[in-house]
Chain A
């Protein structure tokens, strides 16, 4: 199977039913998406597929063939973070950080579609992503900061 991930094409040898998450992490070494539940309940595993967030723990790798997949690593780097990632740094919006992948991926997909979203809409968009350190307020501040930048 050929996968397009973060702008590059990779050939992967795996059962087509394999959840995309394990291919990204173990075959491509992309550790941004995390295993949280394997049940599509928490959002830690999210990646962008054709600009939409998908839960890679329940998405078969075969479904990603022909699609553009972007992971957290594909948005930016420590030296050159995406403005949304920079907003998380500016707001110090993490504790353990295990959920942050899903927060950034969900916010990116949502704000790309809804650049004028207000805080209530952002809350609603993030409502299926869980955070156990309870960094919610900082995450909201970070996403709002980025959204204000889009709206400026």
Chain B
């Protein structure tokens, strides 16, 4: 081997730079430096920070770890974001927002994401909040910086601030461009701390030059050339590879004994047992994998899981805390007076996030301190934050635990990528060396926290003309908060968030029926681990409500679009629905089609309207039309085209929003047609891509997108919204094509064939 090759190999085997170093800056040094303007929030009154909810102050006295952004004397801008990019492109969108509000070139902005010691705690990266909430916070921080710099420039240039303009980081006097000064020279060699006042004026959207543009994503060149630093690539000196040995997935078994002799022949392997956690570590990754497969472990025989086919009966009969989510009029009286009543039950199963890259983390826990690289959604010291979880698991002071975000595989709400961080940290602490843990495919599919199955009973009354006079929506659901594996590893139950997050909140209530009631049966448990999945309960709830409304339209002999419009008053909802049907070339007529063929490939179209939003974000509206082809012999459903109209308020990056819409539509198509977690009495049996099939290129339809931009409104989020109406639109299209109704997801060929068999 030549010297060069040796050098190259040595460079390759040298531990990869941490994501911190990758950015070419040392953040801590930068923040302590002079020659920088730092915008933080007032420690005296952090609530003054911004008028946007969701912001929290870090309790880091006498330091500037609460910085939102910093401008260096060379004019570069560093944004400190507690929100992280989970592969959705928000790093680029946040940089656009900062560059716009500061009036600096896009390329001058770098975003540092998710570091428990360096970025503000902006809450977890969930709920499509990053642009909607984090972006709004950042916009205000940038406006503060701009205002402060204009004040300095006014002094320097001898002109009132209102006569100054800024372009590409250079302040000049309006009408006298020779009198100018750059941001960098205004900062000079000084240290300037700017506290958030909340008073800085924001730019007017018509003046935007960077926000609203399809700026190419900053991460894609590295991703397509193999240079992007995923968490899976983080390597630190002296690191061992670890794997966890678990019982049958989600069986609830506990450890009885471990036969360490069973892996004696695997080179360099050490078995680590800690409470209920069984792991192996080795110098070489393949040896850790081999040992994990080979290690003989005896587990207790747990209580068998309920039969899969009984799951919705189990759900219906579980104890629940019942509450009315909303009520208008008198549903009972209207039902009894109705000309006819209809009712139907809808079922939504366990589905997996099924990340392409299994959860991974690197932990170095030694000498009472811990450093963890993780693809976590929440690196901070907070009730659901990884820093606090690890401090608890490792019995360390929180300030001795440092969590650094590094992007993993897309996670879609797979909140407990933190599980791998926990694994790595526990192994590292036990053996006193850094450990990298990556889950195997079976771990990821089998030990995911799935969405909670949801059960719906819908009931309605129609008058003699087919108008809806009463609507009752009942839902049985468990919490959408992810559960850590911490509890089960230390011998107890899964740690369950007791905060009833979002349960029932996403019940669609936007159709204004004269008498209506929405009832939640909130439940505490499920047979398998459950929690956040993309859109939370909005997709299942939309499946039920939008299917049932279609059933009512069919019973009334009405066109499903016209029928919906009767009960809508929100202009944005109406606009999204109309935009989708216009693009789709929708011809008004009742469903199903008349004179349905008895055999062959049957075609139909279906519509659905979706809403996503929370008080913090405002509302995103999604209108959708799906075309289907149903093979009446096999029951196979093919979807050739989906039209979606999408209104998420102000669009920061239209191509970024399109990318999210395409991904949401196709992923939810996959969930609607193919996906269901399976199990037997011993444990989960859908443990790879063969047993848990997803959409492939053969199944991909055309997706035709209508973007509705509303610069006058706040950005309301696009990370999950287009997931919501898909299952309903397809179910409605299947009904249009065949005259039969599928009321349980997924619409597999087997299930559709069985429903078709009920046709006369």
Contact = CB atoms under 8 A, between A and B. Distances in A.
Given A72-B226, A136-B697, A96 B356 contact: yes
A39 B225 contact: no
A131 B356 contact: yes
Given A22-B285, A29-B12, A133 B87 contact: yes
B356 A127 contact: no
A22 B8 CA distance: 18
Given A22-B285, A44-B357, A97 B223 contact: yes
A101 interface: yes
Given A130-B356, A134-B666, A138-B662, A85 B225 contact: yes
B291 to A, nearest CB: 13
B409 interface: yes
Contact of B225 (A15, A75, A133): A75
A9 B4 CA distance: 11
Interface in A8-41: 8-11, 14-15, 18-19, 22, 25-39, 41
A8 B8 CA distance: 10
Contacts of B14: 29
Interface string B4-16: 0100110111101
A50 interface: no
A96 B407 contact: yes
Contacts of B230: 31, 34, 98
B436 to A, nearest CB: 10
A99 interface: yes
B358 interface: yes
Contact of B667 (A11, A73, A132): A132
B631 to A, nearest CB: 19
Nearest to A8: B5
Interface stretch (B254-262, B482-490, B687-695): B687-695
Contact of B688 (A41, A89, A99): A41
Interface string B474-502: 00000000000000000000000000000
Contacts of B219: 94, 97
Contacts of B689: 37, 39, 41-42, 130
Contacts of B108: none
Task: Place the interface of chain B in its size category.
Answer: 35 or more
Interface in A56-103: 71-73, 75-78, 81, 85, 88-89, 92-101
Interface string B332-360: 00000000000000000000001111100
Given A97-B87, A133-B87, A29 B13 contact: yes
A42 B225 contact: no
Given A34-B357, A96-B356, A98-B356, A135 B13 contact: no
Q: How large is the interface on A (under 10, 10 to 19, 20 to 34, 35 or more residues)?
A: 35 or more
A97 B1 contact: no
B220 A97 contact: yes
Given A97-B219, A123-B698, A130-B689, A92 B659 contact: yes
Given A37-B689, A98-B356, A123-B698, A137 B220 contact: no
A11 B1 CA distance: 7
B663 interface: yes
Interface string B648-681: 0000000100010011111101100000000000
A131 B284 CA distance: 28
B128 interface: no
Nearest to A34: B357
Contacts of B9: 10, 27-28
A104 interface: yes
Contacts of A93: 220, 224
Contacts of B223: 94, 97, 100
B88 interface: yes
Nearest to A137: B662
A11 B228 CA distance: 25
B380 to A, nearest CB: 22
Contacts of B285: 22, 25-26
B662 A29 contact: no
B740 interface: no
Interface in B519-543: none
A140 interface: yes
A36 B441 contact: yes
B220 to A, nearest CB: 5
Contacts of B408: 96, 98
Contacts of A95: 87-89, 410, 659, 663
Nearest to B653: A92
Contacts of B16: 29, 31
A78 B670 contact: no
A89 to B, nearest CB: 6
B440 interface: yes
Contacts of B107: none
Contacts of A30: 12, 226
A14 B284 contact: yes
A49 interface: no
Nearest to B86: A96
Interface in B430-479: 438, 440-441
Interface string A110-127: 000000000000011011
A137 B703 contact: yes
A44 B286 CA distance: 17
A15 B289 CA distance: 14
B663 A134 contact: yes
B228 A97 contact: yes
- Most central of A34, A35, A97 by chain B CB within 10 Å: A97
Contact of A137 (B358, B664, B700): B700
A135 B88 CA distance: 11
Nearest to A33: B226
Contacts of A18: 284, 286
Nearest to B1: A11
Given A92-B659, A96-B356, A98-B409, A31 B220 contact: no
Interface centre among B12, B220, B228, B700, by most chain A C-beta atoms within 10 angstroms, is: B220
Given A42-B689, A95-B88, A138 B441 contact: no
Nearest to B355: A132
Contacts of B407: 96
A81 B220 CA distance: 12
A85 B649 CA distance: 33
Contacts of B663: 95, 133-135
Contacts of A37: 441, 688-689
Contacts of A42: 356, 689
Contacts of B690: 39, 41
B286 A19 contact: yes
A126 B697 contact: yes
Contacts of B358: 35-36
B351 to A, nearest CB: 12
A8 B14 CA distance: 18
Which of B1, B226, B696 lies at the interface centre, i.e. has the most chain A CB atoms within 10 A of its CB?
B226
Given A9-B1, A29-B11, A37-B688, A100 B224 contact: yes
Contact of A104 (B1, B224, B659, B669): B224
Given A92-B216, A132-B694, 17 more contacts: A8-B8, A19-B286, A26-B13, A26-B284, A27-B12, A35-B438, A41-B688, A41-B690, A75-B225, A93-B220, A97-B223, A98-B355, A128-B696, A130-B694, A133-B87, A135-B659, A135-B662
Interface of A: 8-11, 14-15, 18-19, 22, 25-39, 41-42, 44, 71-73, 75-78, 81, 85, 88-89, 92-101, 104, 123-124, 126-138, 140
Interface of B: 1, 5, 8-9, 11-14, 16, 86-89, 216-217, 219-228, 230, 232-233, 235, 284-286, 289, 354-358, 407-410, 412, 438, 440-441, 655, 659, 662-667, 669-670, 688-690, 694-698, 700, 703
13 contacts: A22-B285, A31-B227, A34-B232, A35-B438, A36-B356, A41-B441, A88-B220, A94-B217, A95-B88, A97-B224, A97-B228, A134-B666, A135-B663
